[in-house]
Amino acid sequence: MFVKRLILIALKKVRSNSVRILPKFFPYFLGCLLFSWNIHADSWSWSGAYLIQPETLEYSGPVQIQVKDGLVEKISSSPTSKEPLFILPGFCDSHVTLGANSLGGWKERSELESDLKQFLLHGFTHIQSIADPPWASELSEIRKKNSQYPRISVLPPVLLAESKEISASKVSGYKILKSPEDAMSSLSGKRGKIHLFLRHNEGETFEVDGKLLYRMRSEAEKNGLELSVSTFGEEFANWEALSSETKVLYHPIPETSSIRPVAHNLVKQIWAPLFGIYFTRKGIGTSSFAEEWEKWTQWSPTFKERALSKEVLSTLPALSESEREEAEKEYESYLAFLRARKNLTLRILLGSGAGHQLQFPGISGWKELRILSELLGPKEALRAATETTCQYLGAAHEGKIRVGKPAHLLIFREDPLQNWDKLKTLRTVVTERVKTEISSPEKKKTERRRR
């Protein structure tokens, strides 16, 4: 497969501008992650707004929406405004890795704080982090206790079959399985969710095959445990995950003759394709990718402030010509699989893969949203980012805006459903009792001139 093994084993130390990698996080640092521009108040209201309705994903309006004590208190008719607002529910991201900095290295505390801000300033109020060191669970509890957003869900250490490539590494965030007995015992005495990296390495004495995966899935369900699987786009791994009916799948699925007989099982499963990882990986080192990168910086003023320069991008190792041809072919196969199965729209999660190479917090979620929109249409892409993923993560607002329910609102100056480039007009993020205002580029220029 053209995508190199996407697993955090021995991350390199990487420097780029402000990026410096430190070996450890300290618990007392974690409690200090506060957003300096959050504005606390008891109530707010907006008039002349167009509001996305649950289920139909159609706008109603113009309306006035009132928020009090963290809840949507009232939605009523409002006169038309010369500058209407467009209000969407807070976005959710089902697959990030907080411990990695998108450049192949571990994060230091300042980067972690910056990343959490990036998620929020791109409208992501809830995220799920996978394959992180133990500090992630502590961070999640601290933020929950302090009512901080984005709210973080974490998974226990990822299950991974032992192999030669990890035997000499100090693996953090993983539980190494050495036998079928290990695999089955790892599911005992647990509740909630657990995740497996399903990969095939030739010549290994042990790997999780389809029969063992089926047993693991059955044991997990018996124990009230939800098993999810990352397949890394591998055809054989996808076949096993589909045939075993593992509930949640991550990474794309190729359109091949061997996959088709088991593809119908996806109507019983939930799937986050993570297309953005593969789109990025195949383009690194090309002029077209440099142009695309520039578009992303124009699309997101918030991302532009921390984006890599063209000079740094040009130093990243690219695929060979033959690898790139294979990459393009595989990527098109991944897209073709979903195009042929639009009946899966209610089963699609949004997962950005932030933490993988060049998958930066926030903007990667926007990229995934755009790719899904091109395949499924804007409404169904929005459904993935809100209702489907937010409900899966247990977000209090469930990806909806409803009277009497927690207020998680994204307030735009222009309608993103007409053109996803309009996501850059996001100006306010409401997370219950906190309102975060996002400065526009024009406002920032004015502030600089005043200084």
Q: In Å, what is the CA distance from 269 to each residue of 153, 338, 346, 388?
A: 20, 14, 10, 12
> Can you give the three-state secondary structure of 162-228, one letter per residue?
CCHHHHCCCCCCEEEECCHHHHHHCCCCCCEEEEEECCCCCCCCCCCCHHHHHHHHHHHHHCCEEEE
Q: Which domains does the chain have, with CATH numbers?
A: 41-90+400-450 (2.30.40.10), 91-396 (3.20.20.140)
pTM across the whole model: 0.91
pLDDT score recorded for residue 83: 93
More confident residue, 444 or 390: 390
Sign of the four-CA dihedral 369, 428, 97, 347: negative
pLDDT digits (tens, 9 = 90+) for 66-112: 999 999 999 999 999 999 999 999 999 999 999 888 887 777 777 88
pLDDT digits (tens, 9 = 90+) for 292-334: 999 999 999 999 988 998 888 888 888 999 999 999 999 999 9
pLDDT digits (tens, 9 = 90+) for 379-429: 999 999 999 999 999 999 999 999 999 999 999 999 999 999 999 999 999
**DSSP-derived 3-state class of residue 99:** coil
Dihedrals φ, ψ of 220, to 5°?
-60, -45
Please state, in angstroms and rounded to a whole number, the distance separating the CA atoms of residues 344 and 269. Answer: 9
Residue 264 has pLDDT above 70, yes or no: yes
pLDDT band at 148 (very low <50, low <70, confident <90, very high): very high
pLDDT digits (tens, 9 = 90+) for 285-294: 898 999 999 9
Element containing residue 280 per DSSP (H, E): helix 275-283
Please state, in angstroms and rounded to a whole number, the distance separating the CA atoms of residues 360 and 297. Answer: 12
Please give the order of strands across the beta sheet that includes 151-154: 91-96, 124-129, 151-154
pLDDT score recorded for residue 171: 60
More confident residue, 293 or 204: 293
* Nearest alpha-carbon partner for 331 in 272, 283, 278: 278
